[in-house]
Structure 1
Amino acid sequence: MKAAGSKRTATGIFEFMYKYGTLITILLLVVFFGFATDNFLSQSNIISIFRSISIVTIIAIGLTVSLAIGGFDLSVGSTATLANSIVISMFVWHGLNMGLGIAFALIACLIVGLVNAFLVINFKIQDMLMTLATMFVFQGIAMTYTRGATVSQNMIMPNGDFATGKIPAVFKSLGLVPGIIIVMIIVVLVVHVFLTYSKHGRYMYMIGGNPEAAKLSGIAVGRYRLAAYLISALFAGIGGIILGARVMTAEVNSGGGYLMEAVAAAFIGYSVFGAGKPNAFGTLAGAVLIGILTNGLVMMAVPYYAMDIVKGAVLALALAITYYKRKH
């Protein structure tokens, strides 16, 4: 009896930590860094944290939608790079206005989503493996398009002339506070409402839980998987465009560095409030956790080259908790 009681207690503790562990960790980190550093709790630093997580959150939200249908889009970082390269080049190389520049970038990203969906659905290759392959393809396309160079105003073109196009001033505002944070909040709210309250979101969760049962229920599984990859690519593209607005250039593989943080944020989000599935608010909480951790370590003068150790450890812990919960 005592052993059974101890087991129930341990199970109860695990369930509590599974539901609220992420939020408790965020609170503990805030308290720790607040005491360990001088300016961590200042208004400017809090705004800086939310600004720093905005892009990775937007990209991670797209990844969250692909996870909802049981997929796994590893090409989101490369898609963000492609969008960043196209939108800045449309301004600098071709002198297009803001609307057309963004439109061309998003169209390119939707094509990426179509390619991913076509390969995954028709060839029935595991999503993670196929998008791992396309990740390198789209990264290579972006690098080929820019010829491996940084795209910026007044850059020297291959013919020796200077680029004459200008990046619109209004576009720059998307990468500044509060614009960048507002876009992030809108994206999170829209996807939360879509996944939680619409029938299409519920269908996606059904497909992610049991695709065969969903098909037998009359749900068009292929169409929803297509929609999920289009949404994933779309939000990755939006993240890449916002990145362009923030730095006003297109760097080589600029979106690649966001992949691991996006994956970590999405998987950390599984456990928030005991959801047990990909969800927008959970992904935001995961991004906040990573942002606080990164910001606090920087303020404590931890070397930048050690950051990946911490981020990798956080991702490993999130994956361990998620898959342990699935099997128990």
Structure 2
Amino acid sequence: MPQANAAPRPALPARTSLRDHAIRYGFIVLLVGMVLFFSLSTTGFTSPQSAVFILQSVSITGILALGVTATLVVGGFDLSIGSVATTAMMASSYAMVVMGLDGWTAVALCLAIGAIVGVINGVLIVYMRVPDLLATLGMMFLLVGLQRIPTEGRSIATGMTMPDGTTANGTFSPEFLALGRHRFDFFQPNLLPVSVVMLIALAILIWFFLEYTRFGRMMYAVGSNERAAQLAGAPVKAYKIWAYVISGVFASIGGILLAARLGRGDIASGNNLLLDSVAAALIGFAVLGAAKPNAFGTAIGALFVGILLQGLTMMNAPYYTQDFVKGAVLVVALVFTFALSKRGRR
């Protein structure tokens, strides 16, 4: 017969608590430590100008990463975001410089392109049952080729010579260029770029959408257990398609801002957008031990990448070492997220 008063269960080992704290706060500690290291190792790293430069450098990749986060939430992945952004950059430049359209029409055209690409990706994945990586990889190559056809691989700028020998006499709209070059007064005159404001606004928007709306919570339900969500009556296919539409639109916004910043359609400007955006979205898994895609973590991940690259640049680290360092940091972040958390659940 068991005793009436059973002995109390022993307390969990201290190492379990330490592991939990490492999972939850390890990345934040790493971020703070990195800031302190660069602050002590370089001059001017903590100045307002340096902070704004960091935010501006990650604003476009951060916006793209937020789009990737939407697809990760539903259990998908979008490899076409970099090519969508570059296509939007080239399309907006072509619309104004070659076709002579105004800036707002060019913006609307690019947003439509992003939404259409998102729908196509979603249909391929949901209805044609093409794996998400393959579908979006194919779209990436398709767009990389498509954006170069109208100019035969040339970048787009005012006064350029077209393949048929004519000269493109259109110009970039001042309102359009303001999207990439205007700065707001914040503590200091002309300090805060529009692109940074856009990143903050979109991060808050997608965070609220995913965390506090029924649509966003259902997207998480689809990503965590698609079959259960389907049995509960959720339109799973529609949610997944909408996730790719969000990703495409956000990528187009990034391309618009890039074109407005450069004042031209530079065919090679978007080469690193995909890798940096994916890194920011995946690093977001490690922020506060979330272990899931989330907008707040993605924004912190983008900031982390920007701080890391800015610090390395100010320390005169060779440019060819930066990708290696980013990869090492990403691996460490994912170890904190998955390996340690799985061991803690055993």
TM-score (norm 2): 0.89
* Deviation, structure 1 residue 283: 0.4
Deviation at 1:145, TM superposition (A): 3.5
Task: Summarize the Cα distance change of 1:136–1:325 in structure 2 as closer, same or farther, 3 Å threshold.
Answer: farther
Q: Distance in 2 between matches of 1:15 and 1:249?
A: 49
- Residues 181 and 302 of structure 1: CA distance in aligned 2, closer, same or farther (over 3 Å): same
- 2: distance between equivalents of 1:250 and 1:289? 28
Match for 2:193 among 172, 175, 178?
Answer: 178
Query: Once the 2 structures are TM-superposed, how far is the Cα of residue 6 of structure 1 from its aligned partner?
Result: 11
Distance 1:325 1:64, change over 3 A: farther
Structure-2 change in CA distance of 1:317 and 1:124 (3 Å): farther
- Residue 90 of structure 1 is matched in structure 2 by 95
Task: Give 1:14 shift.
Answer: 2.6
Structure 2 CA distance for partners of 1:7 and 1:155, relative to 1, 3 Å: farther
Structure 2 equivalent of residue 260 of structure 1: 275
- Alignment of 1:212 with 2:227, yes or no, is yes
Which structure: greater helix fraction? Answer: 1
CA deviations over 1:100-155 (Å, ceiling 9, x no partner): 00111111111111111111112223212321222111211112234211111221
1-structure distance, mates of 2:334, 2:131: 18
The structure that has the greater radius of gyration is: 2
Distance 1:309 1:273 in 2: 24
Change (3 A) 1:6 1:50: farther
Which of 12, 34, 39 in structure 1 is aligned with 2:39? 34
CA contact (8 A) 1:80 1:238 kept: yes
**Aligned match of 1:62 in 60, 67, 72?**
67
Identity of aligned residues (%): 40
Aligned length: 325
Q: d(CA) in 2 for partners of 1:18 and 1:247? A: 40
* Distance (Å, rounded) in 2 between the aligned partners of 1:200 and 1:62: 16
Q: Which runs of 4+ in 1 moved over 6 A?
A: none
CA drift of 1:326 comes to: 6.4
**Could you say which residue in structure 2 is the equivalent of 1:22?**
27
| Partner SS, residue 127 of structure 2 | helix
Look up the match of 2:339: 324
Instruction: Report the counterpart of residue 104 of structure 1 in structure 2.
Output: 109
Cα distance between partner residues in 2 of 1:194 and 1:78:
25
Report the equivalent of 1:168.
Answer: 173
1:207, CA displacement in angstroms?
0.5
- Answer whether contact 1:139 1:253 (CA < 8 A) is retained: no
Within 2, Cα distance between the matches of 1:111 and 1:253?
A: 23
- Deviation string for 1:9-31 (max 9, x for gaps)? 33322322222222222211111
Amino acid at match of 2:17: G
* Counterpart Cα distance in 2 of 1:95 and 1:72: 36
Change (3 A) 1:165 1:132: same
User: Aligned Cα RMSD in Å?
Assistant: 1.8
Counterpart position of 2:217: 202
Q: Classify the secondary structure of the residue corresponding to 1:175.
A: helix
Structure 2 residues not aligned, in runs of 5+: 1-9, 182-191
Contact 2:284 2:293 in 1 (8 A): yes
Deviations 1:242-293 (A, max 9, x none): 1111111112243231111111111111122232211111101001111000
